[in-house]
Copies of this chain bind each other. A is one copy, B any other.
Amino acid sequence: MPRPSDAAEIMQRLGELAACTETRGEITRLFLTPAHAQAISLVCGWMQQAGLSTRLDASGTLVGILPGPSQDAPVLLIGSHIDTVRNAGRYDGCLGIITAITLAARARTLSLPYAIEIRAFGDEEGVRFPVTLTGAHATAGNFNQTWLAARDHNDITLATALANFGLNPQALAENTCAAHRAFAYLEIHIEQGPVLEAANIPLGVVTAISGAARFEVTVTGRAGHAGTVPMSQRQDALTAAAAMILAIRDIARARPNVVATVGRLTVAPDATNVIPGTCQFTIDLRAPEDALRHQAEHAITAALHAVAHADNVALALRQTHEAAAVTCDPRLQTILAAAIEKSGLPIRHLPSGAGHDAMAIASLCPVGMLFVRCAGGVSHHPDESVMESDVEAALHVMTQTLQSLTPTDFAPGNPPA
């Protein structure tokens, strides 16, 4: 039997990794669970097979190391995560790690002027504890020790879960996990959106990870009898909310790469024959540049107040979340795009509307991301799907990228042009 191609081997390993699950018949692998430990063990074996030395840091991040030409050689980090949401797909996060292992195996023959550390993070999804990106924050030296008190649904603290996993919470609190000598971070990840597929393009260069803001909106009108209150005398909270929802959509539509979503909505009293007196809904707003997002926020706020005034209802708008946008390093974008072009593929730049480990690493070093097309934009679902030929293309482009990287270009005091 001939040896399978590298891409075929990656697809096969992703299938094996998918078997590490808490729940039979699905892929559910939450942070610091036995399924996570099983995944670490499997991935660790593949890292060692590729000639990497391995260690587990205090946050549960599996690190695979390909040494550089010297002890103090600069380090290229390549990372993603191996935890999953409940009933997940097999590619989210894992594709980046499994591909990186093959890439590191190839790198052994390339005499690169830097070391490579693959970082398989363990808490990108933030499903188990009310914290997220724990591993990536630890790698960046930004673990906040108050997070150790976070509790899961069984009331187990993060500190206890780490200790039960054989890790040292104190080391994590002291930020001993920080990656040293990192000059850049690269992440390969499925797009989790439909843009590349719609454009019929296998790979994309990520320009930025969008910043996000979330709001809770309460519209208060006046409940009334659906039969007896004439249309002209109504203060209908839901028709006002409907006008607001369309205004929010139109504001996002008018701004490139801005997305706005009303994902939750409730009506009270919620009876067929009663005019809604109250309507509550959420807004999730994202943009690849913070200035653009703030400008959209102002437009949304103004539009909502205008509707409330016109419809004679009260409006309460409360921000519940904010995360700044993270720009992917322009030099890394250029190198990735050049490698894609050299592979004969069309170049597509796009922002990432979803969050990634790269967000947390951005405070440590320049970050770059390569997106791989996925079927239907579906992610966080068993139907997640990626083509082997696209994985082959990603491997090819990343191999080229490794050869193009010059650590001194990323030295402090040598900012992006």
Residue numbers of A with Cβ under 8 A of B are: 191-195, 198, 210, 212, 214, 224-233, 236, 238-239, 241-243, 245-246, 249, 252-253, 257-265, 267, 269-276, 282, 284, 286, 352-355, 377, 379-380
CA distance A353 to B228 in the complex (A): 4
Give the residues in chain B near A262, CB-CB below 8 Å: 238-239, 276
CB distance from A295 to the nearest CB of B (A): 16
Whether B263 lies near A271 (C-beta < 8 A) is yes
Whether B239 lies near A245 (C-beta < 8 A) is yes
Known: A242-B245, A354-B227. A233 touches B195 (CB 8 A): yes
Contact of A352 among B227, B233, B261, B263 (CB under 8 A): B227
Whether A265 lies near B263 (C-beta < 8 A) is no
Using CB atoms, name the residue of chain B closest to A269: B263
Known: A249-B231, A263-B270, A263-B274. A192 touches B238 (CB 8 A): no
Give the residues in chain B near A355, CB-CB below 8 Å: 227
Give the residues in chain B near A261, CB-CB below 8 Å: 226, 236, 272-275
CA distance A252 to B275 in the complex (A): 14
Known: A192-B228, A225-B353, A242-B245. A263 touches B286 (CB 8 A): no
Contact of A227 among B272, B273, B286 (CB under 8 A): B286
Contact of A265 among B252, B267, B377 (CB under 8 A): B267
CA distance A261 to B269 in the complex (A): 13
Whether B246 lies near A194 (C-beta < 8 A) is no
Contact of A194 among B229, B239, B241 (CB under 8 A): B229
Whether B249 lies near A239 (C-beta < 8 A) is yes
Using CB atoms, name the residue of chain B closest to A232: B253
A/B interface sample: 22 pairs, CB < 8 A? A193-B224, A194-B228, A194-B233, A195-B228, A198-B233, A214-B272, A226-B284, A231-B260, A232-B253, A238-B262, A238-B265, A239-B262, A261-B274, A261-B275, A262-B276, A263-B269, A263-B270, A263-B272, A264-B267, A264-B271, A265-B265, A265-B270
Whether A191 lies near B228 (C-beta < 8 A) is yes
Most buried by B among A239, A241, A263, A275: A263
Whether B284 lies near A193 (C-beta < 8 A) is no
Most buried by B among A257, A261, A275, A355: A261
Give the residues in chain B near A264, CB-CB below 8 Å: 267, 270-272
CA distance A146 to B95 in the complex (A): 65
CB distance from A252 to the nearest CB of B (A): 5
Give the residues in chain B near A229, CB-CB below 8 Å: 193-194, 259, 353, 377
Using CB atoms, name the residue of chain B closest to A252: B231
Using CB atoms, name the residue of chain B closest to A374: B228
Give the residues in chain B near A259, CB-CB below 8 Å: 226-227, 229-231
CA distance A229 to B355 in the complex (A): 13
Whether B239 lies near A353 (C-beta < 8 A) is no
CB-CB nearest 7 A-B residue pairs: A227-B353, A193-B228, A226-B261, A242-B242, A242-B245, A228-B353, A226-B284
CA distance A224 to B378 in the complex (A): 7
Using CB atoms, name the residue of chain B closest to A379: B225
CA distance A259 to B239 in the complex (A): 13
CB distance from A133 to the nearest CB of B (A): 15
CB distance from A44 to the nearest CB of B (A): 31
Contact of A273 among B224, B284, B379 (CB under 8 A): B284
CA distance A362 to B186 in the complex (A): 78
CA distance A262 to B271 in the complex (A): 9
Known: A233-B198, A239-B246. A228 touches B377 (CB 8 A): yes
Whether B246 lies near A275 (C-beta < 8 A) is no
Give the residues in chain B near A246, CB-CB below 8 Å: 239, 242-243, 246
CB distance from A406 to the nearest CB of B (A): 32
CB distance from A85 to the nearest CB of B (A): 12
CB distance from A357 to the nearest CB of B (A): 15
